[in-house]
Copies of this chain bind each other. A is one copy, B any other.
Amino acid sequence: MSNLSRLRDFIQAFTALVNESGDDEARMLDAGEKLLADLIRHDDWLPEAYSRPDSGGYRQYLLHCDPMERFSVVSFVWGPGQQTPVHDHTVWGMVGVLRGVERCEEFAPDPQSGKLLALGSHDLHPGSIDLVSPRIGDVHRVSNALTDEPTVSIHVYGANIGAVSRHSYDPRSGEQKRFISGYSNDELPNLWDRSDEMAP
A180: B residues at CB distance < 8 A: 194-195, 198-199
Asked whether A45 is an interface residue with its Cβ less than 8 Å from the other chain, the reply is: no
A195: B residues at CB distance < 8 A: 162-163, 180-183
A185: B residues at CB distance < 8 A: 190
Q: Which of A64, A165, A183, A193 has the most CB of B within 10 A?
A: A193
A189 touches B192 (CB 8 A): no
B189 touches A186 (CB 8 A): yes
Asked whether A187 is an interface residue with its Cβ less than 8 Å from the other chain, the reply is: yes
Contact A200 to B182, CB < 8 A, known contacts A187-B190, A192-B69: no
How many of A's residues come within 8 Å of B, CB to CB?
37
Query: 7 A-B Cβ contacts within 8 A?
Result: A64-B67, A66-B67, A162-B192, A163-B194, A180-B195, A183-B193, A188-B188
Tell me the residues in window 171-189 of chain A with beta carbons closer than 8 Å to chain B beta carbons. 178, 180-183, 185-189
A136: B residues at CB distance < 8 A: none
Asked whether A62 is an interface residue with its Cβ less than 8 Å from the other chain, the reply is: yes
Assembly of this chain: how many copies? 2
4 more CB-based (< 8 A) A-B contacts, given A183-B193, A186-B190, A188-B188 = A12-B67, A67-B67, A183-B195, A187-B187
Asked whether A72 is an interface residue with its Cβ less than 8 Å from the other chain, the reply is: yes
Q: Which of A68, A181, A188, A190 has the most CB of B within 10 A?
A: A190
B68 touches A198 (CB 8 A): no
A199: B residues at CB distance < 8 A: 180
A195 and chain B: residue at smallest CB distance:
B182
A189: B residues at CB distance < 8 A: 186-188
Expressed in whole angstroms, the minimum distance between the Cβ of A163 and any Cβ of chain B is 4
Asked whether A90 is an interface residue with its Cβ less than 8 Å from the other chain, the reply is: no
**Docked pose: A198 CA to B165 CA in angstroms:** 9
Could you say which of B11, B65, B178, B194 contacts A192, with CB atoms under 8 Å apart?
B65
A12: B residues at CB distance < 8 A: 67-68
